Structure 1
Amino acid sequence: MKIGLDMMGGDFAPLEAVKSLQLYLSGTTSPANLFLFGDEAQLQPLLEEYNIPLEAVKIVHAPEVIGMHEHPTKALKEKQQSSIAIGFGYLGKGVIDAFISAGNTGAMLVGAVYSLKAMEGVLRPTISTIIPKENGGTGLLLDVGLNADCKPENLNQFALLGSLYAKHILGVDNPRVALINIGEEEGKGNLLAQATYPLLKENTAINFVGNIEGRDVLLDKADVMVCEGFTGNIILKLAESIYEITDRKGIHHEYFDRFNFENYGGTPVLGVNKPVIIGHGISQSRAFSNMITLAEKMIDSNLLQIMQESFQS
């Protein structure tokens, strides 16, 4: 398999991206073919310094960088020689099988949606995040920011995409799907929640277990939790703050440690035709390495084809 890595994306690029190669290669006996998109003049000395074997990687020179605060659509259009633009070009042509970046999130989302297109039948792609459960399990929350406003049909599709991801990547058999709401009873919530509930209830492709409240998100009430991106992003940022606060105060516990995003690397864009993984802007080597591993899982599990077949049927 061939995995592309944006070496210039993120606050600590390209150093942490190069260090991640050392971490990834030291932990596998059958590494993927890695395509490194970035400024060759900056990458070559770092690859030599960290003893990255040149036969394990292929540098694709990309002299331009899309900054973290640039307008996504404008930057992609004007910076055709950027690491993100060239990476999506390689992905779209099938030269690589997956593309990873911790760079400009908006540019990655625009590239994923407009360069690759959504799967046939998918109204809107979505992004998710891992939710550590109190009992040691793992939950999935989506959408977490790509779609701030949604229609009931969108949430119904997110439920299916999340279920397939939970089953084939997280290893959850028959994942329980819940709708995040302000009450457990059917009929609760705003107009979106009230209209979404019957769609989820009638969806035979998922295991819908009803509504859950905010206090249930970290408990073992559901495996896949669905909401629009406005609510999901607030929950995501609140979860991130839990780790930041406990870390600053020196509170060390294995449960709170699971809120460290570096453990998961990044989030895939679900609903597009090829694996695209977006990392946090402050990603360091462990996060980059875990994103490569996640890309491998998505390719090995044939997840994208499974999703495509689910929506075609």
Structure 2
Amino acid sequence: MRIGLDVMGGDFAPKAAVLGAIETFKALPSDQHLVLIGDSNQVKAICEEVGFDANNFELVHTEDVIGMGEHPTKAIVKKPNSSIAVGFGLLKEGKIDAFSSAGNTGAMLVGSMFTVKAIPGVIRPCMPTMVPKLTGGVGVILDVGANADCKPDVLLQFGVLGKLFAENIYNVENPKVGLMNIGEEEEKGNLLSLATYPLMKDTELFNFIGNVEGRDLFNDKADVIVCDGFTGNIVLKLAESFYVLTRKKGMKDEFFDRFNYEQYGGSPILGVNAPVVIGHGISSPEAIKNMLLLSRDLITSGLIDKIKQAFQ
């Protein structure tokens, strides 16, 4: 197994990425290898600084970097030797089994769609994230930012993708799938949710339990919550703020500690032909480590093949 990492992506790159890779290396068995893509001279310097042998990694040298503020499509085309573009090239050629980056989110989405491409049958790939439950378990919400505008059939597919993600990554048996809405009643909601509800109600693709509200996010009513990426991203950013707010108020709480973005590392792009994970722009070494471990789990679970089977 070979897990690729863009070491030039993120606000604190390359140092945070390299330090995170070092910690990941210590946690991986000998048959799981890390491929670091970026400025190899900087990688070697950081490794030397902390007394770590850079030869433990496979280094792929690149000199171009896609900045966080660059236009995704233009940057991918104009910078074919950037760490993100080279990483997707390696993924397409099968030279790495997964690729992750805390860099330009748009470039990662564009690279996924135009390099490894969407799985046949998937209308719109999406991004899920983990949601901590008050009872101690976890749930999934999707989409959290890849698709600001969606149609009913797209949300129906998100239900399938979320079900498979919850089953194979978080080991949730027959996950309950809910549709995010402003009320539980079938007749509530905007045009999108009103049109989506009957599709989900009639499907046998997953265990649909009806509409759920924002207050149900952290209880056990649903294991998978489906929404468009505009709504999901707002919910995600609000949830991430809980951890910061409790720290600023001097509070120490086990539940709110689970909202620390470092613990889940990143969000995969579900619905493309290879494991791709996007990390938070402010990723710390701990977040990078967990992003790489999530990449590993996507490979070992065989999730991509299971999604392909579901959409045949």
Q: TM-score, normalised by structure 1?
A: 0.97
Give the equivalent residue in structure 2 for 1:302.
Answer: 302
Letter in 1 for 2:149: D
SS in 2 for 1:94: coil
Output one character per residue of 1:144-202: Cα deviation in whole Å (capped at 9) or x when no partner: 11111100000000000000000000110110000001111112111111111111112
- The answer to whether the Cα contact below 8 Å between 2:180 and 2:212 also exists between their aligned partners in 1 is yes
Q: Give the distance between the partners of 1:38 and 1:247, measured in 2 at CA.
A: 34
Secondary structure of the 1:129 match is: strand
Q: State the 4+ residue runs in structure 1 displaced beyond 6 angstroms.
A: none
Does the CA contact (< 8 Å) of 2:44 and 2:54 recur in 1? no
Contact 1:6 1:84 in 2 (8 A): yes
1:199 maps to 2:196: no
Counterpart CA distance in 2 for 1:269 and 1:51 is 35
Query: What's the counterpart of residue 157 of structure 1?
Result: 157
**Code of the aligned partner of 2:36:** L
- Equivalent AA in structure 1 for residue 88 of structure 2: F
Question: 3-state DSSP class of the match of 1:308?
Answer: helix
Partner Cα separation in structure 1 for residue 309 and residue 114 of structure 2: 21
User: Cα offset for 1:93?
Assistant: 0.9
Shift of 1:306: 0.4
Residues 21 and 52, structure 1, Cα contact 8 Å, conserved in 2:
no
What SS does the corresponding residue of 2:160 show, helix, strand or coil? helix
Query: What is the 5 A alignment of 1:152-231?
Result: 152-231=152-231
- Counterparts of 2:19 and 2:142, CA distance in 1: 30
Q: CA RMSD in A?
A: 1.1
Q: Is the 8 A contact 1:127 1:145 kept in 2?
A: yes
Q: Compare 73-82 and 152-161 and name the one that shifted more.
A: 73-82
Q: Secondary structure at the match of 1:126?
A: coil
Does structure 1 retain, via aligned residues, the 8 Å contact 2:144–2:229?
A: yes
**CA distance in structure 2 between the aligned counterparts of 1:268 and 1:54, rounded to whole angstroms:** 27
Q: Does structure 2 conserve the Cα–Cα contact (< 8 Å) formed by 1:186 and 1:197?
A: yes
Aligned-partner Cα distance in 1 for 2:201–2:120: 23
Give unpaired runs (5+ residues) of structure 2. none
Which residue in 1 is equivalent to 2:33? 33
What amino acid is aligned across from residue 198 of structure 1 in structure 2?
P
State whether residues 105 and 278 of structure 2, in contact with CA within 8 Å, keep that contact through their aligned partners in structure 1. Answer: yes
SS in 2 for 1:230: helix
Distance 1:202 1:55 in 2: 55
Per the alignment, residue 73 of structure 1 pairs with: 73
Cα distance in 2 for partners of 1:40, 1:25 equals: 17
Matched residue, 1:242: 242
**Consecutive unaligned residues in structure 1, runs of 5 or more:** none
Q: Deviation of residue 25 (structure 1)?
A: 2.1
Q: CA deviation at 1:27?
A: 2.3
SS at match of 1:186: coil
Contact 2:156-2:200 within 8 A present in 1 as well: yes
Contact 1:179 1:211 in 2 (8 A): yes
- 1:63-103 CA-to-partner distances (Å, cap 9, x unmatched) read 01111111111111111111001001101111111001000
1:231 partner amino acid: T
Distance in 2, Cα, partners of 1:262 & 1:31: 25
CA contact (8 A) 2:3 2:96 kept: yes
C-alpha displacement of 1:55: 4.0
Residue pairs, 1:1-313, within 5 angstroms: 1-30=1-30, 32-312=32-312
Deviation at 1:26, TM superposition (A): 2.1
User: How far apart are residue 31 of structure 1 and its match?
Assistant: 5.3
Conserved? CA contact 1:22–1:50, under 8 Å = no
User: What are the Cα deviations for residues 28-84 of structure 1, in whole angstroms up to 9, with x where unaligned?
Assistant: 333522111111221111122233334431110110111111111111111111100
CA distance, structure 2, for counterparts of residue 85 and residue 25 of structure 1: 24
Q: In the alignment, is the contact (CA less than 8 A) between 1:25 and 1:31 conserved in 2?
A: no
* Counterparts of 2:2 and 2:28, CA distance in 1: 15
